[in-house]
Each structure stands twice: as structure tokens, then as C-alpha cells.
Amino acid sequence: MSNESTRVAVITGASSGIGKAAAKMLLADGWHVIAHGRDLARTQAAAEELRAATPPGARLHVVQGDLALLADTARLSAEIAALTPRIDALLCNAGGVRAEKHVTAEGHEATFTGNHLGHFLMVQRLMPQLKAAGAARVINNSSSAHLVAPPIDWNDPQSLENWVSVSSYALAKLYNILFARELARRGAADGIVAHAMHPGIVDTNFASHGNAQMQTHMAAAQLDPPERSAATLAWLASAPEPGQSSGRYWFDKAEVDPNAAAQNDDDARRLWVESERLVAETGF
């Protein structure tokens, strides 16, 4: 269990890239970090690296699970809840793009679930710990890809029928912003601050699972080191300025405007209700 005076951060997707860099930054500031990874071997390797970087006074736990599977997410959330009575920052950083459509054994489209619905369930399951912190922050790692998201088809919000790799990912990134917007509204009474951020175009393994179009785009881009985006992620978790507002969208430690679709409060509420329905239908 965490010491009551120690700030606690949960970081999904912390076995590599931005998440791992952010974990190192928060550990250096004395946080208790609960770092999550999906791939077992990569998570174990990251655990060794993070332990070596953990200074005296900081604490580290490493957990593993697949956010694209709600059963695994529920188990993972219970494991995290057993480690700490409070969570000061939940950094929903995990995500990714796929070259091919994949429907999970639970009947969900994996890009939608891995980027959005898994985090939605995790936030619900960890709400007691977030409320206990008194002024918790939930940060969604979104993307400027939301700018090219197609209109939401509320008859098929997961794109199970009309799946296209880049469009599915762009929709998921739009959902990240809408989720933060609605969480900001619903969580305000409990002191919960929610934001979304654009990480930039980052030199990580992100595109390795994407299609040829995505891999070509990333290969031609000027890439930022993961530490640049991680600095914004850690700043959103801990700095005073982002704690003074909620439901905003950030890039490089500055507030920026997402597109009109990402500022639609009706869609934000509808996404929340639809996500609750999908989670309930799956048994959670």
C-alpha cells in the first residue's frame, strides 16, 4: 500500500515510449508509480529498467494486461486497486493503430477497445481511488489524428461494419478527447480534473502495427524523442496550471483547440452512455 503522503500515478502503456519516459520522470520526483504494459516480455524488460531508475523515496509497481479485453482490464484494475487506496494521476497513455481489423473474443473492435473502452472501464473501476485523492487528474493521450476522424456513426461507433485502419484510429483519438470532456463534467464535484493531449509525432514503436500508409507517413516524418511528449504528460499530472481547468486539450504544455467535433458536448455525453452500455453488455 502507498504511504498517504506519497503521490500515486498509474500509467498505462508504460513498457515503452512515452509512458516509460513519463514513469521515469515521475519516479524521479518521488511518486509511487504503477506502470502498466501489455506485452509480457516488454513489460518485464521495462520493469528492470524502471527499477534501476527508481530513486530512494519513490516506489514502483509493474502490472501487465490487455486493455483491448474488458475481462483483463477488470482484473488489472482490481490488481491496481489492491496496491493503493488513492490515485492522484491516471495517465491513459496506452493505445495504438492496427493494419487489419480485429474483433476480440468479447465482440469488440480492438482499436476502439484498446484506445478508448478499456480506459473507460479502468476509470470506472478505479473511481474510488480517484475520489480518495481529493484532486485527482485523468489524462488521455489523444492525437491530432482526431482532425481526420469521420463523422461518428452512432449505429456503429466501433466501426465494426465499415472499418478502415486510419479512420478507426482517428475515431478512437476523437473519443479520447470526448471522454476527457465528459469526465471533466461528471467528475468536477469530486475534484477530478480530466484533460487530453496531443503527443506530437514521436519516435516510438507506434507505427509498427500500422498499415503501409501509416508506416510510410511515420518514416517520412520528423520525429520527436519520447521524452518531449512524456514531459507534457508528467506536467499535466503534476503541475499547478493544468489543475486550474478541466476538459481541455494540450500540446507541448500549452492549451490548444481541438476541432469542432471534439468540442461537441452532446456527443461527449452520448459516447459516455454508449460506453456504459457496451461495458454492461459485456458483463462489467
Active site residues: 169
Per-state percent for the chain, helix, strand, coil, to nearest 5: 50, 15, 35
Closest Cα to residue 10, out of 73, 84, 71, 67?
A: 84
Q: Which of 248, 246, 108 is nearest to 172 (CA)?
A: 108
CA dihedral angle for residue 135, residue 129, residue 249, residue 178, rounded to 10 degrees: -130
- C-beta separation of 93 from 18 below 8 A: yes
Q: Rounded CA gap, 268 and 264, in Å?
A: 6
Burial class (CB in 10 A: 0-12, 13-18, 19+), 75: middle
C-alpha cell of 88? 492522484
184 contacts 247 by C-beta, under 8 angstroms: yes
Q: What is the Rg, in whole angstroms, of the alpha carbon atoms belonging to the chain?
A: 17
Pairing of strands 59-64, 32-37: parallel
